[in-house]
Amino acid sequence: MHDDRGYRPQGNGRAAAVDVRSLTGRRELLETARAELTDRSGVLFHGPAGIGKSMLVAALMTSLAAHDRSAGTVLHCSPAQEDARLPFVGLIDLFARVPESCLEALAPEPRAALRAVLLRGQEPAGDQSRLAVRVAVLEVLRALAATGPVLLVIDGLQWLDEPSAEVLAFAVRRIQGLGIRVVAAERVADGEQPERLRCCPPGTVELPVPPLSDGEVAHLVRTGIGADLPPATLRAIQDTAAGNPWCALELGRAAARDAAPVGFGRTLPVPRRLRTLLLDQVRTLPEPARHTLLVTSAAARPSLTLLRAAGLHDPAADLAEAERLGIATADADGAVRFRHPLIRAAVYADAPEYGRRQAHALLARAVTEPVEQARHLALAHPHEDETTARTLMSAAESARRHGAPDAAFELAELAARRTPGDRPAERADRLLAAAEYACDAGHLEEAGQAAETVLAASGSARQRVRARLILLRNAGQALEGARDLIEEGLRDADGDPEAEAWLHYWAAVRGLLCGELEEAARHARHAARQADRAGDTDTRIGALATLARVRSLAGEPVAADAALEEALALVGGADAGPESWGLIRMRAILALDSDKVTEARDQVAGLLAEIGEFAGVEEVMATLVSLTRIQVRSGHCREALRTAAHCSRALAETGVQAAPALYAAALAATAGGSADEARHLAAQAVRASEADGDRLFLLRALAVLGQAELLVGDPRGAASAVEALQRVKELGEAMSAADPPLLHWYSDLAEALVVLGETDAAGAVIREARTRVSGDAPGSVLAALERAEGLREAGLGRAKEGAVRLRAAVDRLRQLPLPVELVRTLIALGAVERRARRRTAARAVLGEALETATRIGAAPLAARARDELGRLDAGDRSGEAGAGGPELTPTEARIAGLVGGGATNREVAAELFISVKTVEGALSRVYRKFGVRSRTALAHAMAVAVIASGAAAVDSGDDDQVRPAAQAVMTSQPGRIRVPRGLDTRP
């Protein structure tokens, strides 16, 4: 196996340009290498064959050329395996473009020796000639470096012939300070270290090239073959390639050509080219050893004990031969593993069909675990047989009971395929069971195909209803277009109360997700009644839980509590075990939304202690996400960070980036981490929610993204916040939602609009939120709206009215256990008081905000409080209020500076990511504050303000303010006024 090289040597000795954007999963490594080359003399990429070292070398050369047009001399060689036996071929390649004039400048003996090894003269002999070659190469490199930078590129150090390697090792030890850099790549086995570091300069940084993640492999395969593969096929490629990009592309291309689905007893095709490269050494083994490897490749968990039970004579001796060749090995406990998953797949794919059947027959007699035994039995007998089908179905049911939905799905699908054609009802039932198991395992495409097959062919109304239920479940959150599917199902279900309950339940879920809340409530009630008639307690509980969620979203907490308590009574109360866990979480969240924070925290903390290690990953994750939300609102910010980290660790082994876990991490970061971290995690949560089609968590992810952007505190952050929160508003309106979290997010949107100067739009958002507030709205919702109204009043220049509203919000929040909300509001009040020159009042509330934020671990809010206090102190040092001219909001200051510098309104809008209309409105307010009527007058007024600020700084002895002010005055020209960086222009 060799690297999938992304370039070929060109006539000028350079590598062909590589599109850096195509380096899936490698951009960060590429940037690291480029940064290291600024301080070090060499970079060495290393890793197994096919991992992408050559692509990185080529991309690094392209990147260096793009950033440094005068890159100087590039000497390049890419030796192949057959070159390793040819003396000095590497040196010949490296010096192919070195001009003859460089050689002519050498002393006679070194010149003759070098010309000889480059095949331009007689071959040298003896130790003296070998030394002369080394000296000659070093002198040529010094001569080239004297005219500009030199880059040595050796792509494939493992194949560099030994004479060339010795010469290179001699030279690189002596090039320090000469402007010579080395970029090299060496193939090493997984986990091993490079063996030819001596060919690189001292201090060379070693960069192992890691395997790609599953997501990166998926992207690479999709873009590499220009098509989407079935999910099962893509998963098989991810497992088999184990992060190796070249292997993944080869497997993807073969799978696209083959077109048959993977699974159901059919393995991933391994192309002949890969098999030839991988099995070179396998084919040299004696036949018994090859047979042992085939049986090993067919087993799910191969071991020496299993291989002996399968009737193999001496599997340990056979595997010793394989281990000697680096193919497979048995550990101290007897477990057998191949060196790479792809070798295992290649061994199995290379065997004839009869050989694979024989291997499965041996294993079917040897294994004792029912699920594995049934799988081998089916693969050993690939024909219709009712006995085999029943055995497979029994094993599938066992697999599902033991929490192995993937195995259950595969076995049930095999059972359907092995069912004789004269038993269509049994085949349809088994296919529906396979589809349900596929849903459990997340294999939505396979589940849909099986359900559609039954729906099209079955004469049984109940089977058709079950097929439609699978299609509804398969749709996830995207149920908007499912109305016809539900209505057709209800016609088939007519007179069957259990089937009707199933379909009304799904109609309720559809209404919930589509924002048709009244219709959702009607269907949920109907589903509960029909389930009660049929004695289907599980569906009745699900319907009541859905009704509770609908009533909560509609802003009816009392009705939501009633439905939830009825569901809890059906499961046997809050102590009923796993059946009650989801209902307890919902009750806690309803309490949280009603500002009953302590009650919510006690419920979820108790639940987490109860589920312990007995719950699955999804149950643990849901509980941890709920606890994170509660801890953030209750001001336990440090604990929230730990809980979110625990949630992420719970998912780490699954390799899945779940939107709820990402949301929890982002939310915790907004409270106790940093704005940058919160923005990054929230953006990931948004993408994951969109990929899942999860609109409910998309709302939350977008909301926390908006909050994170607001923490940044500048117009660009506010513009991004508006974009995210506007989507929240639109999604909420589409769902007819009116629950407390949504109203909080309306307030955040209004606040972001105020930061941008969009006070009219902010007023419209606040008025709309007020129409959605019910009489029993939680105090936190009213306080959030009062905070937004206060900030809007201040943004309109009515600081006194704004402070009154903000103080009302503070007073309301002092009665609630919501310290984070209190700190946010205190900071807003302090900023307004500071701008209004009420410094004593500002210092009091900002001091309280800082003390509270520090105590609860709200690091981002503590930083904002310190920032506001710092501006207040700077104002005190500057002397009289107004010494530096009128104070501007952040957006006004940025706009004034850009306009004073000569920018047009359209240019300002583009720079700040706001509308031209917003620029015009803000500029009008700036004119009023400065008492001017034109851009020229504004520029002169700002210059006067700059001078005044500088003078105040001189009076106060503040050099940090004096220098930028003086510089601004000296460098400004009429119409080109610059706002000095040292002056306070932020809110």
The position carrying tokens 């589920």 is 611
Dist. CA 121–CA 113, nearest whole Å: 8
Give the tokens for residue 595: 């500002």
Give the tokens for residue 688: 């994951």
168 vs 690: which has the higher pLDDT: 168
Residue 180 makes CB contacts below 8 A (sequence gap 6+) with 41, 141, 145, 149, 150, 151, 152, 201
Whole-number average pLDDT of the chain: 81
Residue 65 confidence (pLDDT)? 76
Dist. CA 619–CA 640, nearest whole Å: 18
What residues form DSSP beta bridges with 47? Answer: 187
Dist. CA 507–CA 526, nearest whole Å: 10
911 vs 985: which has the higher pLDDT: 911
CB environment 673-711: b (16+ within 10 A), e (fewer): bebebbbbbbbbbbebbeebebbbbbbbbbbbbbbbbbb
675-702 pLDDT, tens digit per residue, is: 889 999 999 888 877 776 667 778 889 9
Q: Is the dihedral of CA 150, 156, 157, 159 positive or negative?
A: negative
Residue 471 has pLDDT above 50, yes or no: yes
Dist. CA 304–CA 331, nearest whole Å: 10
Give the tokens for residue 553: 């979203």
Residue 930 has pLDDT above 80, yes or no: no
Residue 755 confidence (pLDDT)? 87
What residues form DSSP beta bridges with 76? Answer: 153
Dist. CA 850–CA 891, nearest whole Å: 25
The position carrying tokens 């509001």 is 825
Residue 21 confidence (pLDDT)? 39
pLDDT band of residue 553 (cuts 50, 70, 90) is: confident
Q: Is the dihedral of CA 276, 277, 281, 282 positive or negative?
A: negative
Residue 783 has pLDDT above 90, yes or no: yes
Dist. CA 65–CA 343, nearest whole Å: 39
Dist. CA 58–CA 913, nearest whole Å: 37
Residues 819/842, Cβ–Cβ less than 8 Å:
no
Residue 172 makes CB contacts below 8 A (sequence gap 6+) with 41, 42, 152, 182, 199, 200, 201, 202
Residue 263 makes CB contacts below 8 A (sequence gap 6+) with 232, 236, 410, 413, 446
For residue 919, the tally of other CB atoms under 10 A from its CB is 25
Residue 693 confidence (pLDDT)? 60
Give the tokens for residue 699: 């709302």
What does DSSP assign to residue 643? H
Instruction: Tell me which residue of 230, 657, 254, 620 sits closest to 446, measured CA to CA.
Output: 230
What's the residue count for the chain?
987
Residues 482/510, Cβ–Cβ less than 8 Å:
yes
67-113 pLDDT, tens digit per residue, is: 665 457 889 999 988 888 888 888 998 988 888 888 888 888 888 88
For residue 974, the tally of other CB atoms under 10 A from its CB is 9
What residues form DSSP beta bridges with 73? Answer: 150
- Mean pLDDT over residues 502-522, rounded? 83
Dist. CA 513–CA 477, nearest whole Å: 7
Sheet holding 42-47: strands in order across? Answer: 73-77, 150-155, 180-187, 42-47, 205-208
> What distances in angstroms separate CA 698 from CA 641, 719, 725, 737, one per listed residue?
21, 19, 11, 14
Out of 247-251, 722-726, 799-803, 917-921, least confident range:
917-921
> What distances in angstroms separate CA 860 from CA 673, 728, 865, one per listed residue?
7, 23, 9
Residues 140/110, Cβ–Cβ less than 8 Å:
no
Dist. CA 438–CA 185, nearest whole Å: 44
The position carrying tokens 């001219």 is 885
Residue 792 makes CB contacts below 8 A (sequence gap 6+) with 750, 754, 759, 762, 763, 766, 802
Residue percentage of the chain with pLDDT more than 90: 24
Q: What phi and psi, each to the nearest 5 degrees, are found at residue 496?
A: -110, 95
Residue 972 confidence (pLDDT)? 39
pLDDT band of residue 842 (cuts 50, 70, 90) is: very high
Q: Is the dihedral of CA 956, 962, 965, 971 positive or negative?
A: positive
- Mean pLDDT over residues 185-205, rounded? 88
- Mean pLDDT over residues 722-745, rounded? 83
Instruction: Tell me which residue of 783, 782, 784, 804 sits closest to 793, measured CA to CA.
Output: 804
Q: How far is CA 310 from the centre of its chain?
A: 44
CA angle 915, 918, 920 (to 5 degrees): 115
- Mean pLDDT over residues 474-488, rounded? 77
DSSP 921-935: HHHHHHHHHHT--SH
Residues 790/803, Cβ–Cβ less than 8 Å:
yes
Residue 817 confidence (pLDDT)? 93
What does DSSP assign to residue 229? P
Residue 523 confidence (pLDDT)? 93
pLDDT band of residue 786 (cuts 50, 70, 90) is: very high
Give the tokens for residue 577: 């075990």
132 vs 912: which has the higher pLDDT: 132
Residues 965/983, Cβ–Cβ less than 8 Å:
yes
Rg of the chain over all Cα atoms, to the nearest angstrom: 35
- Mean pLDDT over residues 952-961, rounded? 43
Q: What phi and psi, each to the nearest 5 degrees, are found at residue 547?
A: -60, -40
The position carrying tokens 């680096």 is 326
Q: What phi and psi, each to the nearest 5 degrees, are found at residue 368?
A: -110, -20
CB environment 472-498: b (16+ within 10 A), e (fewer): bbbbebebeebeebbeebbebbeebbb
Residue 983 has pLDDT above 60, yes or no: no
Q: What is the pTM of this model?
A: 0.54
